Copies of this chain bind each other. A is one copy, B any other.
Amino acid sequence: MPLIVQKYGGSSMGTLDRIQHVADKVISAKQQGHDVVVVVSAMYGETDRLIQLANALTPYPEPREYDVLISTGEQVSMALLSMALNMKQAPARSFTGAQIGILTDGVHTKARILDIKTDVITRELEQGRIVIIAGFQGVNAQGDITTLGRGGSDTTAVAIAAALNAHECQIYTDVAGVYTTDPHLISEARLLPQISFEEMLEMASLGAKVLQMRSVELASKHNMPIRVLSTFSEGAGTLVTFEDKIMHKRMVSGIAFSREEAIISLSGAPRQVGMEGRIISQVSRANIEIDMIAQHTTVQNTVDFTFTVQRREHAKALKIIEDLAKEMGAGAVKTNAKVAKLSLVGIGMRSHSGVASTMFTTLGDAGIPIQMITTSEIKISVIVDEAHLEKGVRAVHQAFELDKHPQTTEQTYIE
């Protein structure tokens, strides 16, 4: 029987009614002839409740004990789901990470999975049972409970699917799948039936927060297709899979964006070997994460260096750069704390040089100045005033016809 792994997140497990609903979905998959392994998160709000208990007790909870504490959230929800299934005459058993043998390293609160034992799962499936597993947790070599960090249940699900060589790993969330852009912003946004792992990685890290990135990387590494779909509505969702399995290729798959960005430019610094490293390391040492970086050398042989940070770190980063500019004898520091990033993502752009040109022309025609550009193989990102973001996304979405269904023939964009 084809095996599927299903993962239900905190909002899917948020109330007892929702847990009953999840049980019905699991039973339906079983009745379709699948062996079913289910990975669950803690009930919505429960992990936060436990964290608050720890933080009310001590500002620096001992990490080993912190993991002992918060891992109970998943244990509660797995037991409740198993009870609901058994009540509905669907034999099920729940297991903690330790009981399954999800072996991790010893880095408490953000452990990484080293190995997953399959004998318990296989034994239970052979008995015809549904197997329910606590997400987000494992056990280190000493037998201590570990957790994988926020969103770790996605990683658990993919790792188990890979270990069992499952047919598919289904991640149930509160959205119907992956869209061409945020449907809350652009109502014409369309659900993507398929997307490649690479595109998903570029989309998600840019703000389309549907899947935990580690889980996408892991799925890609193990060639395990992930299907993102909604607990609360019907539909096939979005299949995240390898590029060569994508049926209808398009040049561009979607537009990701993020607000809360800030941009800082250092201009007219006399060119000097290693200066870029010096700038970055000063900022990093202050624990500020740099996102985009652009650099160019002027005809006067000075260097312009531009980068973006999260808006809440803007003031701190600016202070560092202003001090550095003085040391370096740079001309000027320019900054804007109210910008947003808009990124066009698509495997097709690898072979279609026209994409960048269409994007920049579209933004220009809409009267939107571009403050910074970076590109990668399958992504073009621009920084614009935050006030221009929605207009920009809408214009680009339309220019690439993302609101329309892809051609069923592949003649237009075939590589």
Which residues of A are in contact with B by a Cβ distance under 8 Å?
16, 19-20, 50, 53-54, 56-58, 60-62, 64-66, 68-69, 71-72, 75-76, 78-80, 82-84, 86-87, 93-94, 96, 98-99, 120, 143-144
Q: What 7 additional pairs, Cβ within 8 angstroms, besides A16-B57, A54-B79, A68-B96? A: A50-B76, A53-B76, A58-B84, A61-B83, A69-B79, A75-B75, A120-B143
B-chain residues with CB within 8 Å of residue A62 when the two chains form the complex: 82-83, 86-87
Per the bound structure, the CA–CA distance linking A305 and B245 in Å amounts to 84
B-chain residues with CB within 8 Å of residue A72 when the two chains form the complex: 72, 75-76
Per the bound structure, the CA–CA distance linking A56 and B120 in Å amounts to 30
B-chain residues with CB within 8 Å of residue A54 when the two chains form the complex: 79-80, 83
Per the bound structure, the CA–CA distance linking A112 and B78 in Å amounts to 25
Per the bound structure, the CA–CA distance linking A336 and B394 in Å amounts to 84
B-chain residues with CB within 8 Å of residue A96 when the two chains form the complex: 68
Partner of A57, one of B61, B84, B94: B84
Cβ-defined contact, B64 with A93, below 8 A: yes
Cβ-defined contact, B99 with A79, below 8 A: no
Per the bound structure, the CA–CA distance linking A79 and B61 in Å amounts to 10
B-chain residues with CB within 8 Å of residue A82 when the two chains form the complex: 62, 65, 68
Cβ-defined contact, A68 with B57, below 8 A: no
Per the bound structure, the CA–CA distance linking A125 and B111 in Å amounts to 26
Partner of A94, one of B56, B65, B98: B65
